Structure 1
């Protein structure tokens, strides 16, 4: 722990409980401010072009068609098994 931090903490110990709460409130607001500044907001458009095309070697439309076909086949197997 640095010497200046030790000095600050010993000074805080000398404060009244109300003054210590004021210090705590100040520190909480300071940390909140730093946390919100540290996380910049990103737009979905910023992600454009980051993934290689086609992602996972499959075109998006082919993936949709394949998964729909697989779901249809699965549903048909379930219906045939119930009869």
Structure 2
């Protein structure tokens, strides 16, 4: 990827399917959110699952090396340290 000079968008992901509910619960646990997550099932345009097509990036020799949960945790910890700083938002 360091040598990629294309202009196309490239998805980066694990290539594993996850429901929006599972993803929201995972994030909730990582950030320590104590509230309730609700879903509006009356909205038909919602996406119940997410799966990024990582075919293009894999064809460039890249493969996922970080589990989704770990990536979210690392990102949240980076955010707390670098964006929130001592404020501890």
TM-score (norm 2): 0.23
Greater relative contact order: 1 or 2 (C-alpha under 8 angstroms, separation 6 or more)? 2
Q: Which structure has more strand as a fraction of its residues?
A: 2
Scaled by the length of structure 1, the TM-score of the pair is 0.25
Q: Indicate the structure with greater helix content.
A: 1
Larger Rg computed on CA atoms: 1
